[in-house]
Amino acid sequence: MADRLSARAAIAAVTADFTESTAPREDTAADGPLGWTGYADSRARATARTGEHESVVHGLATVGGHRCVLVSFEFGFLGGSLGQRTGDRLEAAYEEAVAQRLPLVSLIATGGSRMQEGMIALTQLHRVAAASARLRAAGPAQLAVLRDPTTGGGWATLGAGADVILALPGAQVGFAGSRVRPPGADPAAYTAEGQLAAGQLDAIVPPEELAATVGHWLGALAYRNTVPAAAKVPDALSATGLPRTGWDAVLRARSASRPRAEAYLDAYFGIRLPLHGDRCGGTDPGLLCGFGLREGRPVAYVAQCGTPTRPAGYRTAARVIRLADRLGVPVLTLIDTPGAANDAEAERAGAGAAIADAFAAIAAARVPVTTLVIGEGGSGGALALAAPGHTHVTADSYFSVIAPELAAAILKRSPDQTHATADQLRLRPQDLVDLGVARSVVGPGSPRTGSNGSSA
């Protein structure tokens, strides 16, 4: 179980610059809207124990040099539960973020809605959801840090509804609290680690790294009302001439020694901040997504790692692209896949709809999207993450409507005709430039163009 810090200790763990905002007027009846006998006494004891008058504290803060609105839950105050006064404070925090165009950071530790206020407490979730929607429409991002525990409505609104979700190791995370789970339920499913594996949150951050990580994220997510410049095309990481034949291009792209996405991202970014999972229970280890800082400037990235891309990968990519578009952050995609996963499990997981969603996200993006093909460009599974008119290729890549072997099989050609079929598909990097599919062949130091098999 993770350590349970007080609300103010959690704030102190991420910043020394916090100015508490004035709490909204609190004029509810002594024993609450239900007249729950002893409720006022319970609140008074909670105040005496914690020094707080409600289960949340909010105000303006600076984390890692970046301003934000900060909300922190006090679990010692009636289990960090949400009641009407909690809703007042949360709504005020969101409105402050809207008014000042600042991101909102929530340090959550809650057991859910407050039973002593009945349905009035439960309906605070509507208020929080509406306030969150207003902030999202205004532009600024929302970042949640899940402390122990994060359950019930607090998880299902501030937590799971955030743009970026971080968690402390060992935190309980789930809609169902520990006392209301089905008998025999797997306890691992209700942990930060279990939720990460299920694609429900982005990263687990050790306490000693939390302040720096939140600061980096605020630097990447800071709302911008300007027209972003396109991401610079990465340099190629291998020095090689252009392939002579189509089959040469295929062999190069499939070579185990060719640089992969991880190497490109490490070379491109000073700091990488991963976004993980499709929020629908799925992950794809063959797709790396997130925001990176390059010379202090944020760029969102979606990078295939040479494996068939799964539906969860496309859904995660679409989520990242839409977030970047909302925040005015340019996008870089790295293409390297033999194609979309086509097994029965992928079909059941909605492969077609997931690929369509990725196409739609790129098509609708108002920010510049830049693509570099670094290996295999296999059919629609690769094209779904490629930027029309802004795609570049390396000399050790290819892009094709279909793999040459499959094309030969469909055309009922013998296997010994595969190489000739590769030539007919015109899938070499220089062919792609000549066809207008790619803008340039990128070399180790700068873009280059080429044609007819000659190095440029």
The per-residue pLDDT for 455 is 36
CA distance 247 to 19: 64
Distance CA 292, CA 131 (A): 28
Burial of 179 (0-12, 13-18, 19+ CB in 10 A): exposed
pLDDT exceeds cutoff 80 at 396: yes
Nearest to 172 by CA among 191, 158, 155: 191
pTM score of the predicted model: 0.93
d(CA 276, CA 230): 24
What is the average pLDDT across 83-103?
96
Q: HSE of 262 in the Cβ direction (CA atoms, 13 Å)?
A: 4
First to last CA, the chain: 59
Q: Is the pLDDT of residue 448 over 60?
A: no
Give the mean pLDDT of 239-244: 90
Give the model confidence (pLDDT) of 297-319 as tens digits.
999 999 999 999 999 999 999 99
Mean pLDDT value across residues 330-336 = 97
pLDDT at 445: 58
Return the exposure string of 84-118: e unless at least 16 CB atoms fall within 10 Å of the residue's CB, then b: bbbbbbbbbbbebbbeeebbbbbbbbbbbbbebbe
Q: Are 372 and 233 in contact (CB under 8 A)?
A: yes
Which comes out higher in pLDDT, residue 444 or 196? 196
Q: What pLDDT band is residue 3 in, cutting at 50, 70 and 90?
A: low
Question: In this predicted model, what pLDDT tens digit does every residue of 185-240 receive, in sequence order?
Answer: 788 888 999 999 999 999 999 999 999 999 999 999 987 767 789 999 999 998 88
What pLDDT is stored for residue 178 in this prediction? 73
* Nearest-angstrom CA–CA distance, 176 and 182: 9
What pLDDT shows up at residue 27?
Answer: 67
Q: Which two tokens stand for residue 195?
A: 């939720």
